Amino acid sequence: MSEAGTSSSPDVEDENRNRIRELFYKDDSKTLRRMISAKEITEDELKVNLILSCKIGSINCAATILEAGISCNMLDSEGFTPLATASKYGQNPILDLIIRWDCTIDLSVGPLQNTALHFSASEGHLECCQSLLESGSEANAENAEDNTPLILAATNGHDHIVKLLLKWNASVRRGGSHEASALHMAASNGHINCCQTLLTAKADVESEDNFGNTPLMCAAEKGHYQVLAMLLNRSCDVNHMSHSAVTALHLTTQHGDYECTCLLLEHGAEIDAQDIRRFTPLMMASLNGHDKIVELLVQHRCNINMVAYNKRTALHLASERGKLGCCKLLFEAGSSINAQDVLGCTPLHVAASKGHMDVLKFLISNGADIYERTSNGDMLLHFAAAGGNTEICKFLIERSFDIDAQNYDGITPLVNAVKHQQISTSKLLLDYGCKVNHRGLHGMTALNEAVFYNNFPLVVLLLQYGADPDIEDAVGTLPLWFAIDNLNLDMAKVLLLANARSNQVSTFLESCGPCSPLEHVLHQQKETLIIWLAKAYGSKALNAFRSHLHILRKMPSVNKSTIEMVQTLSCNTRPLMEHCRQCIRTTFGKGGKVSNDIQALEIPLKIKNYLLFSDFDGWQSEVKEII
What is the three-state SS of 255-287? Answer: CCCHHHHHHHHHCCCCCCCCCCCCCCHHHHHHH
pLDDT band at 4 (very low <50, low <70, confident <90, very high): very low
Taking the C-alpha atoms of residue 82 and residue 72, their distance in angstroms, rounded to an integer, is 6
Residue of higher predicted confidence among 31 and 618: 31
Q: Is the pLDDT of residue 190 over 70?
A: yes
Domain presence at residue 60: yes
- Phi, psi of 506, deg, nearest 5: -110, 145
Helix (H, G, I), strand (E, B) or coil at 345: coil
**pLDDT at residue 3, as a whole number:** 41
Q: Which of 138, 172, 194 is the C-terminal boundary of a domain? A: 138
Domain presence at residue 219: no
Q: Is the pLDDT of residue 275 over 90?
A: yes
**pLDDT at residue 392, as a whole number:** 97
**CA neighbours closer than 13 Å in the CB half-sphere of residue 574:** 20
Taking the C-alpha atoms of residue 426 and residue 21, their distance in angstroms, rounded to an integer, is 70
| Percent of the chain whose pLDDT exceeds 90 | 91
Q: Is the pLDDT of residue 17 over 70?
A: yes
**CB-based contact 442:475 (threshold 8 Å):** yes
**pLDDT at residue 506, as a whole number:** 93
Looking at the 3D structure of the chain, how many domains does it have? 2
Domain presence at residue 599: yes
Quick one: 588 exposed, middle or buried, by C-beta within 10 A (0-12, 13-18, 19+)?
middle
Domain presence at residue 327: no
Spatial neighbors of 214 by CB under 8 A, at least 6 apart, are: 184, 205, 206, 207, 208, 236, 237, 240
- Using a CB cutoff of 8 Å and minimum separation of 24, what contacts does 229-237 make? 229/263, 230/192, 230/195, 230/196, 230/199, 231/187, 231/195, 231/205, 232/263, 232/264, 232/267, 234/199, 234/205, 236/205, 236/206, 237/206
Spatial neighbors of 277 by CB under 8 A, at least 6 apart, are: 308, 309
Residue 250: CB atoms within 10 A of its CB come to 26
Distances (CA, A) of 367 to 143, 215, 362, 400, 408: 61, 46, 9, 18, 25
Residue 399: CB atoms within 10 A of its CB come to 10
Of the candidate ranges 160-164, 248-252, 538-542, the one whose mean pLDDT is the lowest: 538-542
Q: Which of 93, 115, 138 is the C-terminal boundary of a domain? A: 138
> Domain range for residue 67?
15-138
Mean pLDDT of 143-157: 98
Mean pLDDT of 471-492: 95
- The string of pLDDT tens digits covering residues 70-86 is 999 999 999 999 999 99
DSSP 92: H
Q: Is the pLDDT of residue 619 over 80?
A: no
Q: Is the pLDDT of residue 272 over 80?
A: yes
Q: Which of 89, 109, 138 is the C-terminal boundary of a domain? A: 138
Distances (CA, A) of 620 to 34, 281, 531, 616, 624: 76, 56, 16, 10, 7
**pLDDT at residue 623, as a whole number:** 42
Q: Number of helices and strands (H, E) in the chain?
A: 38, 0
Mean pLDDT of 36-60: 94
Domain presence at residue 546: no
- The string of pLDDT tens digits covering residues 341-388 is 999 999 999 999 999 999 999 999 999 999 999 999 999 999 999 999
pLDDT band at 8 (very low <50, low <70, confident <90, very high): very low
The alpha carbon of 541 is separated from its chain's Cα centroid by a whole number of angstroms, namely 47
Q: Is the pLDDT of residue 622 over 50?
A: no
**pLDDT at residue 1, as a whole number:** 35
**pLDDT at residue 2, as a whole number:** 38
How confident is the prediction for the chain on average, in pLDDT?
94
The DSSP line for 406-470 is --TT---HHHHHHHTT-HHHHHHHHHTT--TT---GGG--HHHHHHHTT-HHHHHHHHHTT--TT
Domain presence at residue 615: yes
pLDDT band at 9 (very low <50, low <70, confident <90, very high): low
Domain presence at residue 257: no
State the greatest distance between any 2 C-alpha atoms of the chain, in Å, as a whole number.
102
Q: Is the pLDDT of residue 20 over 90?
A: no
Helix (H, G, I), strand (E, B) or coil at 55: helix
At what angle are helices 258-266 and 225-233 packed, to 10 degrees? 10
| Percent of the chain whose pLDDT exceeds 70 | 96
Mean pLDDT of 76-99: 97
- The string of pLDDT tens digits covering residues 482-534 is 999 999 999 999 999 999 999 999 999 988 889 999 999 999 999 999 999 99
Q: What type of residue sits at position 344? A: G
Taking the C-alpha atoms of residue 349 and residue 153, their distance in angstroms, rounded to an integer, is 52
DSSP 177: G
pLDDT band at 574 (very low <50, low <70, confident <90, very high): confident
Mean pLDDT of 112-134: 98
Domain presence at residue 320: no
Taking the C-alpha atoms of residue 177 and residue 505, their distance in angstroms, rounded to an integer, is 62
